Amino acid sequence: MAVDRNLIKRQIREAYRKNKQLFYEGLIQSQKKIVFCIAYQGKVNQLSYLEIEDAIVKILKRINYEVAAN
């Protein structure tokens, strides 16, 4: 349902907002800019907020690693 999809979008945005500083520090150090998006594929209400936040942190760390490596 739309309510569930909106909840997931809000949770993803909040997790990114809380952890984006880790991401920006890596980009500033490497003096690079990137554009990306996060797409959730899965059953609605399958993940808790903590699981979503952990996944967002992993994504941001992985992007930092890839940017630093290149």
Domain ranges of the chain: 2-69
pLDDT-based confidence at 14, cuts 50/70/90? very high
If we measure between CA atoms, which residue out of 36, 41, 49 comes closest to residue 7? 49
Q: What is the pTM of this model?
A: 0.84
pLDDT, one tens digit per residue, over 19-45 is 999 889 888 888 888 898 998 888 777
Chain centroid offset of residue 41 CA? 14
